[in-house]
A = this chain, B = another copy of it.
């Protein structure tokens, strides 16, 4: 079995070694740029770790692992354009460094490159039927993430988003790619469907726990650790698990105050953040959200337990899950 560091090194080396056509430079330079900005490479790592549960040669699936990472970075590229975001991983976004049309076209090429990597001849998989099966899972992921992004956009202009709808949106937008990374890794290793499904559910619930924790930290996190400004979701009235449930739990007075802040046009940012956080505190949404996170995280580990491999082989994935949640043991 490979250590996580070994796998991450092989991922970075593979990305560095990708041969882009020299021309047209305007198409490929932005792709090289965004893939070089780093990131945690969670998705390819999970895919290779899942493969490693069953087989040793996890470098064999590097093309599929990097295909998923390429797809993920493509979604960031187009999402940043749609959100008009200036920065990504401490660097200028593609549409700021180049322009909107470059971001559209390079993104398109990147999505195509992801498919080429996934099915291309360069891969060393001899069993094409396993590849076709994994390709179906890849297809489920790629279209599902688009669904999630569309719901995210739709929810911005709705004020009646329900908890179930929010959970489904983050499942599609965040969890699905983690779940499919694990499932594809298992499928390419020839694991049985039951194992692949448990790994999928492990990733799905872990992803939900991770996203809810990210939402929680957006309100209650330590700015020095969180990496983003605190209160961003509150300022843009993002219909998170916390906002939706606070509205459900609030008494008449609390609901009126919260509604007034949601509709406010002229305000100092910090004042709104403090006021909404105060209402969150009154209904103790922090504990409710934390309970939900704990439940999802525990459920995710239970799915991993059900995977029918030697338990010592699963330890790296258990460790990974704890680190992802910021729980160093």
Chain B neighbourhood of A143, CB < 8 A: 109, 112-113, 116
Chain B neighbourhood of A153, CB < 8 A: 26, 101, 105
Query: A21 to B146, alpha carbons, bound, how many Å?
Result: 12
Decide: B119 and A135 in contact? CB cutoff 8 A: yes
Q: Is A139 an interface residue (CB 8 A)?
A: yes
Decide: B136 and A121 in contact? CB cutoff 8 A: yes
Q: Which of B27, B78, B113 contacts A150 (CB 8 A)?
A: B27
User: Nearest B residue to A135 by beta-carbon distance?
Assistant: B119
Q: Is A299 an interface residue (CB 8 A)?
A: no
Extra 6 A-B pairs, beta carbons < 8 Å, given A82-B104, A105-B146, A109-B146: A26-B154, A27-B146, A82-B101, A111-B112, A115-B115, A119-B119
Q: Is A284 an interface residue (CB 8 A)?
A: no
Q: Is A10 an interface residue (CB 8 A)?
A: no
Q: Is A129 an interface residue (CB 8 A)?
A: yes
Q: Is A108 an interface residue (CB 8 A)?
A: yes
Sorted nearest first, the 3 A-B pairs with minimum C-beta distance are A24-B150, A27-B150, A109-B146
Query: A149 to B106, alpha carbons, bound, how many Å?
Result: 11
Query: A78 to B109, alpha carbons, bound, how many Å?
Result: 12
- Copies assembled: 2
Query: In chain A, residues 5-39, which have Cβ atoms closer than 8 Å to a Cβ of chain B?
Result: 21, 23-24, 26-27
Chain B neighbourhood of A151, CB < 8 A: 24
Chain B neighbourhood of A142, CB < 8 A: 112, 115
Query: A112 to B141, alpha carbons, bound, how many Å?
Result: 10
Q: Which of B116, B121, B147 contacts A27 (CB 8 A)?
A: B147
Query: A108 to B109, alpha carbons, bound, how many Å?
Result: 11
A211 to chain B, nearest CB (A): 18
Q: Is A179 an interface residue (CB 8 A)?
A: no
Query: A108 to B145, alpha carbons, bound, how many Å?
Result: 11
Query: A132 to B127, alpha carbons, bound, how many Å?
Result: 12
Chain B neighbourhood of A265, CB < 8 A: none
Decide: B128 and A115 in contact? CB cutoff 8 A: no
Q: Is A232 an interface residue (CB 8 A)?
A: no
Query: A136 to B115, alpha carbons, bound, how many Å?
Result: 10
A125 to chain B, nearest CB (A): 11
A305 to chain B, nearest CB (A): 31
